[in-house]
Amino acid sequence: MPITLNPNREKSLLRRHPWVFASAIKSVDQETASGSTVDLLSSEGQFLARASYSPISQIRARVWTFNDEPVDREFFRRKIKSAIEVRQRLKVEGQTNAYRLIHAESDGIPGLIVDRYDDVLVLQSLTAGSEFWKETIADILVEETGIQNIYERSDADVRELEGLKPVTGVLRGANYDLRITIYEHDLKFRVDLEHGHKTGFYLDQRHNRHRVGEFAKDRDVLNCFCYTGGFSIHALANGAKSVLSVDSSADALALLEENIAINRVPADRHTSLEGDVFQLLRKFRDANRSFDMIILDPPKFAPTAAHAEKASRAYKDINLLAFKLLRHGGMLFTYSCSGGIDAALFQKIVASAALDAGVDATIIEHLSQGSDHPVSLHFPEGAYLKGLICVKG
Ligand code: SAH
């Protein structure tokens, strides 16, 4: 059954943006099932796209294709094959055995994340459409990658917006370990696929962790929001004088200790601190502590633009404190993974933090998510991770 849009609401589809909001829709047949495939028509009855239907979400339809072609098993096979080919072209396997294989909208499969961790694929289905095709997609993934094990981590909060309950568990394969070791460049990391954040590891920061390593020699490093120590291990392995890692999660810090042990980096140069970064930065300021390098990689403060104002204050707060704690010539590696804050706004927030801290600073590098998390030109929302390397004057 087709969905007809309201007059003048076809514009974003003509620009090949894949989302259709509820307000753009004139009428939907009551019988249309959640996740099923529908034709999207302009108010004049012109075919615009073929999409999945999400009856509960404000994003009521997500485009599978702008062509008049069948959406079937072979359609998904073509999409998955081309996502695999892109990663082969990136030669990502030379650097790591853990990377993103399918990045949702940007790989032409809205709602579907697939990350590869050695011989396990971790699948996250976030929308009614990806849910509808999940079993088919799982079969194709096994056939096209040759990997037998797929573990499902469909437990992200955004599923609620689609009226979907959290689902986790084995989707394909049997008897495989969910605590595994991956490598990134020449370092190893323990990953808990069952309980870890996201699909287990922050794969999107791989390049940025490497970059931290390149600047770390002889530096006193403070790694805030350290999770399982990705940035800390890279810094220690590259000759940091000291590394202080802070996170509020005891489980994450326990894995960080394992990561120090398996990489044989100098444990005596490392300290873990369980606590709240907002409070600890204040404590360090009051105690006149200082560092050569500070990393700020907080969780998503603004999932959508509606949270941007409150989130901006939180980003400004930690960046301001970090500028104060940095020595002259010190480096700030600061990130935001909030969809609701774009790169330009993030830069403004960091600038106003420097201003209020009373320091001069320059940006020496703009950072983003790794290229295994590509961004469709028609879907700028795909560029969620932004970062800056700043040097304090
Ligand atoms: N830099 C990490 C990923 C950071 S994810 C990496 O490269 O792997 C964000 C982390 O912030 C999570 O581990 C979470 O436990 C932690 N966190 C969230 N709020 C916090 C707070 N207020 N204080 C300290 N840690 C916090």
How do residues 10-65 score in pLDDT, each as one tens digit? 999 999 999 999 999 998 988 999 999 999 999 999 999 999 999 999 999 999 99
Residue nearest to atom 22 of ligand 1 (CA): 276
Q: Tokens for 24?
A: 């753009």
* pLDDT tens digits for range 212-254: 999 999 999 999 999 999 999 999 999 999 999 999 999 999 9
pLDDT at 1 > cutoff 80 = no
Fold observed for domain 73-177: Transcription Regulator spoIIAA (3.30.750)
Question: Could you give the percent of the chain with pLDDT greater than 70?
Answer: 100
Point out the residues that are catalytic: 337
pLDDT for 278 = 98
Q: How far is the CA of 299 from the centre of ligand 1 (A)?
A: 6
What pLDDT, on a 0 to 100 scale, did the predictor assign at position 384?
A: 96
Q: What percent of the chain has pLDDT over 90?
A: 96
The preferred substitution site among 227, 232, 272, 281 for testing ligand 1, maximizing ligand atoms within 8 Å of CB, is 227
247 C-alpha to center of ligand 1: Å?
5
Q: Which of 198, 222, 247 to mutate to test the pocket of ligand 1 (most atoms within 8 A of CB)?
A: 247
Ligand 1 atom nearest 280 alpha carbon: 23
Helices (H), 91-202: 128-132, 134-145
| Ordered alpha helix ranges (H), 203-275 | 206-215, 230-237, 250-263
Q: Which residues line ligand 1 (CB under 6 A)?
A: 202, 205, 209, 225-228, 230-231, 246-249, 252, 276-278, 297-299
- pLDDT for 134 equals 98
Per-residue tokens: 8: 């003048």
To test the ligand 1 pocket, which listed residue (199, 212, 225) has its Cβ within 8 A of the most ligand atoms? 225
**What's the pLDDT score for residue 166?**
97
**What confidence tier does 304 reach under pLDDT thresholds 50, 70, 90?**
confident
pLDDT at 305 over 90: no
Distance CA(229)–CA(189), nearest Å, equals 9
Predicted TM-score (pTM) of the model is 0.96
Q: Which residues pair with 3 in a beta bridge?
A: 40
* 272 neighbors 251 (Cβ within 8 angstroms): no
Residue 29's pLDDT is 85
**pLDDT, position 25:** 97
In the chain, where the domains are located: 2-65, 73-177, 202-392
Cα(262) to centroid of ligand 1, in Å? 22
Task: Kindly indicate the confidence band of residue 303, based on its pLDDT and cuts at 50, 70 and 90.
Answer: confident
CATH class, 202-392 region: alpha beta
Predicted local confidence at residue 344, as pLDDT: 96
What interhelical angle do 134-145 and 73-90 show, nearest 10?
A: 40
Compute the distance from residue 224 Cα to the ligand 1 centre, in Å.
Answer: 7
The fold for domain 2-65 equals 2.30.130
Q: Is 156 exposed, middle or buried (0-12, 13-18, 19+ CB in 10 A)?
A: middle
Average of per-residue pLDDT values in the chain:
97
Beta carbons of 97 and 117 less than 8 angstroms apart: yes
Mean pLDDT calculated for residue range 145-169: 97
C-alpha of residue 288 to centroid of ligand 1, in Å: 24
Location of structure tokens 């514009």: 11
Nearest CA to ligand 1 atom 12: 227
Q: What interhelical angle do 230-237 and 250-263 show, nearest 10? A: 30
| Contact residues for 95 (Cβ-Cβ < 8 A; gap 6+) | 184, 185, 206
Check: CB of residue 141 under 8 Å from CB of residue 130.
Answer: no
What does the pLDDT average to over 67-80? Answer: 98
